[in-house]
Amino acid sequence: MTCACGAHICWKCMGVFGRDDIYPHMRNSHGDIYDVPEIPPAPVQIAPGVQARIAQNFEEAAHALAHALALANEQRIEQRRHREMERRRREEFQRVVDARQEELRRTEGRRGCILM
């Protein structure tokens, strides 16, 4: 509360404070500037059989996740194997090309066999 004279009055303890001191006082001495009653959380009541269904759903979800992870791992392995096969094919192709080019260089100046 604020008085016409400019003083700030704590409405919980009726102390008088300056403008810069009232809010820190309210927070430090009374926990907050609002008067909100603490309401304890209501206890959770779980219907019969729900706990078992929750556990079953959790187990099914964990199984599905494990299956999905295993499948993803298999796919990564297959992709890696495929990339390795492609790399080997390219290397073999390059070896064939290099061998043919070398053969052409060796036979470049020849025009056929000359028998004497």
Highest mean pLDDT among 13-27, 52-66, 75-89: 75-89
pLDDT band at residue 107 under the 50/70/90 scheme: confident
Q: What pLDDT score does 110 carry? A: 65
Q: What is the pLDDT of residues 43-81, one digit of tens each?
A: 888 887 888 898 899 999 999 999 999 999 999 999 999
- Asked whether residue 102 carries a pLDDT value surpassing 80, the answer given is yes
Domain boundaries of the chain, sorted by first residue: 1-34
How many angstroms separate the first and last alpha carbons of the chain?
126
pLDDT at site 114: 56
Give, as one character, the DSSP assignment of residue 2.
B
pLDDT at 51: 85
The helix (H) or strand (E) run that includes residue 16 is strand 16-17
